[in-house]
Structure 1
């Protein structure tokens, strides 16, 4: 049976960016190639059928794999094999992970793996931004529960004008290198380097970048609506509400007490650890069933109370003169 290939092209900063799916990795949750110029990234996303036991975090891994053939080269080692990931590959994987991770359900424990392959590097268009968009599109059309999509762009500034997804040559002349990813409503990730640009320029670049990702997000949403798979159900491993209420009733007075004191980091976390230890001892005397849910509830309550206290009573009390004077010598 011939695969059903779907292709979508969107103009970003005056350049066509093409998303294509259906030709490869049909058994994966979602698989998409993204191309800008002659640079091309292949992104694939999969999720395990069952949750991983014995963990209290969401197991997501993002890998970015460079290939020498992307630049028309053959590895120079004796065995002609690819080497370990370069520093750039590791940083690109982290760059991709940061905007994706917050949009997954926090109570999911199924393993999710996103793999990005550099298939073609034209030496003109950087691949890192394409990797983020490929991962976003693969997740959006997959059966993996995810509250995306996200879009990503790089913003440069050449001769005082912002440039979307500048080439390597333009980056040499740019006094700003800002990578931004986010949803249609908010910015989720910013990484930037600049040659002492003003705050006004940086704020304008952020606004310009967020506006520039909107066509990408619209295109990925269109892909998800037309060819996306139904999202899979998953077993929830969130904090049980009855346990959370019980824990909060026990710790709320103590939390309010320590939050009302002048904030000294060591004392604050020391008091918090003491509350946890006392509550854990009390729980262990009563039951060891659902123990991990009690621990998660303690953590959630401390975060919730901190935010609520700050919202209701304003800025927390903070001691001044906590830092030693800095000394310099020529």
Structure 2
């Protein structure tokens, strides 16, 4: 087996290439620390009649990689991919897709399987590197390589400034103020551009309200390591890479080109440049249908539609690059009209409507008990999650009809992106022990719905009274790039600017800084200069949106919604937890059922009581306090007689705590039977006169002034 090694971040990255998946187009086994991934690329057949590139990227988690067996009692095989798997699928896809030749329509499948996981080194970075290398050494015509690193940053302290970390471990990522996954390529030799320049072609990251300059500095810090990984892959490809399959040249019949141009002349620009986006979409669709009718006798519909899109893109680019002219008439850095409302829905805990142009999002916040936390049982992550954001994109939001099934990759990805943007703003669980779920419903879509979800979710949280640090918002910046290197940035992209543009760069954050960012490109990538311009324009737009949000609600409501449950926290002696729970959960279940509350107990002795009504919570609190109260000798109680025996009576002095009144401790004079002086259910005064080594309580009625009925 042929091995190749390189040192990155004081760890050895090892690549093995021989005798693995021998029938696959390309295959590599990567090892970094004790994390290992097998990545395979496979070339399929030509797909006839498709208007998209059929690339499938799949990241496969295996529980055995972490030395675990899946937790379900009934199903041990890995089933539906976890959200984390889906996110890694998307990361790989977004980085490698732009490097395939235009008009290439053969099926490609890239499968990355995690075989070993050391809980230190990130499989996402390895999956992306392995995908690049497996494609590079295969016969698949792919214009790589792509390099990837993760950049973290220690926050500054009183003793020293902040410090960037290359490929941080999980703890460093959790504790740091920045977590960026950067993917880069080398610019090919093109007129008007610098060949060999490192370009970012994919970004996925989150930050703790970091400044824009910090993102640019992170890219500069990463450059030498990205270049090192690109050269490493090139060297391997030179030694063992297969010859690439020839690409069939795509040429259109000159007569068809003339016919399409003649048919579209004057029509396409008129349809494209109007402020009514739905009308534009309908008229473009009608124009396509009419074009196909005109050309169907002589030419294939695929060629006619390809030429239609080429003409549309040409008009769009020329008008933006030469005249700064956008389809809806906005300036290049102008955002669409922003509208916001809160408190729309009467019985939910928090609700908000956010609108930017024709992009409309309804966000709803729900508060629950600690018991409602999401349990994480994945290969990488095991634990609990108390803030969750879901994103739904029904077909009607884009004027379409299609089956409605579970959330797809896009919905999962957009939901997590908005969640990342809000996590740094959420209160600490110790201070606000609620599980918080926000659902963003996209009810109308026309560009950057994920960033609208950030704004909508932020508004809904404040409407619910969740004490977030401050409101957040997001915006998407697009790019138009000419063949001569001329580039123009577009703020708040929509419609054709998104589908025919060269970049979709989403930036979310607050007035203080960035909390989440994500970039995809269709061009080669962007350099550091464009990165800075993008972040500056995004900040300007974000602050404008935040100003509009502030006119509706500028800070969280001082009180929670009256429909939200109330959580009460008390601390008990950890040694008393067993007494609260009782044998087989008898006591705690009795409290829950009798009071109508939810109770969660931590090992530290912290008890969370969640109730819809204050009276129910108070009853449960008194009950728990009664069980856990440390009774002292000499204390006097009004107790309830629970059981009568020949030698005495058991009296409940506190909820869950009983003591024995011996028959001799009722009256000064002798009595023959306990039932002569008390009955079950009687309330009598008792005094604690002793507690033995087993914690059993001895009581005296006569010492407390008891008088029989």
TM-score by length of 2: 0.43
1:275 is matched with which residue: 287, 290, 302?
Answer: 287
Instruction: Tell me the equivalent position of 1:180.
Output: 182
Q: In structure 1, how many angstroms separate the alpha carbons of the residues matched to 2:81 and 2:321? A: 44
Deviates more, 1:104-113 or 1:207-216: 207-216
Match of 1:128 among 124, 129, 137: 124
Q: Does the CA contact (< 8 Å) of 2:49 and 2:302 recur in 1?
A: no
Q: Which of 235, 242, 261 is matched with 1:229 structurally?
A: 242
Q: Tell me if 1:298 matches 2:308.
A: yes
| 2:63 is the counterpart of 1:68 | yes
Structure 2 match to 1:326: 340
Are positions 1:53 and 2:77 aligned together? no
Change (3 A) 1:55 1:201: same
TM-fit CA distance, 1:273: 3.5
What SS does structure 2 have at the residue aligned with 1:146? coil
Q: Tell me how far apart the structure 1 counterparts of residues 257 and 220 of structure 2 sit (CA, whole Å).
A: 39
Q: What root-mean-square deviation, in Å, do the aligned CA atoms of Structure 1 and Structure 2 show?
A: 2.3
The superposition leaves residues 126-182 of structure 1 with CA deviations (integer Å, 9 ceiling, x where unpaired) of: 211110001111011111110001011111111411111100111122111111112
The match for 1:195 is 208
Q: 2:113 corresponds to which residue?
A: 117
> Deviation digits for residues 50-77 of structure 1, max 9, x if unmatched?
3122222221111111111101123344
Which structure carries more strand by proportion?
Answer: 2
CA contact under 8 A between 1:140 and 1:148: conserved in structure 2? Answer: yes
- 1:92-136 Cα offsets, whole Å, 9 max, x none, are 111111111111122222211111110110011121111000111
Which 5+ residue runs of structure 1 have no aligned equivalent? none
1:163 pairs, out of 159, 162, 165, with 165
Residues 188-239 of structure 1: CA distance to partner in whole angstroms, max 9, x if unpaired? 1101110000011112113333443111111100011011110112545x46
2:11 alignment counterpart = 15
**Alpha carbons of structure 1 residues 274 and 74: separation in structure 2 relative to 1, 3 Å:** closer
5+ residue gaps in structure 2? 156-161, 188-198, 342-551, 558-709
Q: Which is further off, 320-329 or 274-283?
A: 320-329
Give the Å deviation of 1:266.
3.3
**Distance change >3 Å, CA 187–CA 244, structure 1 → 2:** farther
Q: Distance in 2 between matches of 1:275 and 1:54?
A: 20
Per the alignment, do residues 142 and 198 of structure 1 end up closer, same or farther by CA in structure 2, a change over 3 Å counting? same
* Residue pair 2:3, 2:16 contacting (<8 A) in 1 also: yes
Secondary structure, aligned partner of 1:326 = strand
Q: Distance in 2 between matches of 1:163 and 1:67?
A: 28
Shift of 1:46: 1.0
Choose between structure 1 and 2: higher helix proportion: 1
Q: What's the counterpart of residue 248 of structure 1?
A: 261
Query: Structure 1 residue 247: deviation in Å?
Result: 1.3
Cα distance change, pair 123–276 in 1 and its aligned pair in 2 (3 A)? same
The answer to whether the 8 A contact 2:291-2:304 is kept is no
- CA 1:325–1:24: 2 relative to 1, 3 Å: closer
Q: Secondary structure at the match of 1:194?
A: strand
TM-score (norm 1): 0.89
Matched, 1:92 2:105: no
In 2, distance between residues paired with 1:168 and 1:123? 7
In 1, the alpha carbon distance for the partners of 2:259 and 2:11 equals 56
- How many residue pairs get matched? 321
Residue 252 of structure 1: how far off its partner (Å): 3.4
